[in-house]
Amino acid sequence: MITDTFIPGKGPLYSFDPRPKLILLLLSVFLFLFESTIALQAGLVVLILSAAAASLGISKAAVPIRSILPILILTALLTPPFNRSGEALLVIGGRTVITDEGLRQTVSLLLRFTGITASFFLFFSTTRISPMILAFRAFGLPYRAALTVTISLRYIPDMFTTYGRITDAHKLRTAGGAERKKGFRHRITGLFPVLTAVLIHAVKEIPTLAMALDSKGFGRSGRRTSCRKLPPWKDIVPQLAAAAAISILLSAASVLI
C-alpha cells in the first residue's frame, strides 16, 4: 500500500510547512461551512483554484471540479425547485420553478462543494503524508488517530488504483472476444466481477496491513517516538505570520462583506 496523494511539483505551496497549511485548510473549511456571502465564497474559490493552478498546473487544478461534477450538476438541477422562498424568477404553467432565494442558495452550495473539495485536494496534493501526520501530532492528535489517518490516506487511493488495474485487465480479456454489449444494465452487471476481484485483493492485503501495524507498534504502551521531526516552531515564524495574516484578512472579510 504505497499509493500516495502527494503530487510532486515545485510550486510555492511545496515549500510551506504543513502546520501553517493545516491552519489555512481548517480556516477555509470553516468559512465555507458557516454563513457567508456569495462574494466571499466566490473569492475564496478563485483564490484556492489559483493557488492550485500555480502549484500544480491548470490541468491538475481542474481535477477536484471534475471529480464532483455529477454532484454539482445534481445540485444545480434539484436545489431551485425545492427552495421557492423569495421573488419568483421563472414561472412555468403557473408553477414557480426558480426564485431569487433558491438561485442564491444553489450558487452558495455549488461554491461550498467546490471550495471545500479544492481546499482538501490542494492540501493533500502539496503535502507528503509523513510531514502531514507529524503536523497532526503537533496539534495534539493522538497517535492512534494519526495512524488511522495515515492508513486511510494510503489505503483508499490504493483501492482506487487497484480498481483501475482490474478494470483494465477485464477490458483486455474481452478485447478480442465477441462484440461487447452496451447499455446501463450490462454495465452494472459487468461491475460485479471487477468489484469481486477488488474485494478479494482487499482481503488478501489484511495480513500485510496487520504486519504493518505491528511494525509501527500499534497497541503497545509507552511514549511514542518518531524518526522524523518537523522544524521547530521558531523556524517557521514567517510562515505562521503569513497564515495568521491571511486568516485575519479572511475573517474580517467574512464580517464586513
Terminal C-alpha separation, the chain? 46
Residue 31 makes CB contacts below 8 A (sequence gap 6+) with: 40, 41, 44, 250, 251, 254
Q: To the nearest whole number, what is the mean pLDDT of the chain?
A: 81
Q: Region 85-94: what's the mean pLDDT?
A: 76
pLDDT digits (tens, 9 = 90+) for 11-26: 778 888 999 999 999 9
Query: What confidence score (pLDDT) does residue 35 get?
Result: 66
Nine-digit cell string for 21: 497549511
* Pairing state between β 88-92 and 95-99: antiparallel
At residue 2, the pLDDT reads: 47
**What are the extents of the domains in the chain?**
1-140+231-257, 142-217
What does the pLDDT read at residue 224? 67
Find out whether 231 and 15 touch, Cβ atoms under 8 Å. no
CA 59/CA 37 separation, integer angstroms: 29
| Confidence band for 180, pLDDT divided at 50, 70 and 90 | low
Percent pLDDT > 70 in the chain is: 88
3-class DSSP state of 142: coil
Of the candidates 66, 60, 47, 71, which has an alpha carbon nearest to the alpha carbon of residue 124?
60
pTM: 0.77
pLDDT interval class at 165 (50, 70, 90) = confident
Measured CA distances, 244 to 20, 22, 237 (Å): 8, 12, 10
Q: Percent of the chain beyond pLDDT 90? A: 18
Q: What is the pLDDT of residue 1?
A: 44
Please tell me the number of Cα atoms within 13 Å of 190 on its side-chain side. Answer: 16
Taking only the tens place, the pLDDT of each residue in 103-162 is 888 999 999 999 999 999 999 889 888 888 888 888 888 877 877 777 777 777 777 778
Higher local confidence (pLDDT), 220 or 50: 50
Task: Look at residue 202 in the predicted model and tell me its pLDDT.
Answer: 80
Q: Which pLDDT value is given to residue 143?
A: 78
Q: What is the pLDDT of residues 195-243, one digit of tens each?
A: 888 888 888 877 877 777 777 666 667 666 677 788 898 899 999 899 8
Q: Which of 62-76, 139-153, 171-185 is modeled with the greatest confidence?
A: 62-76
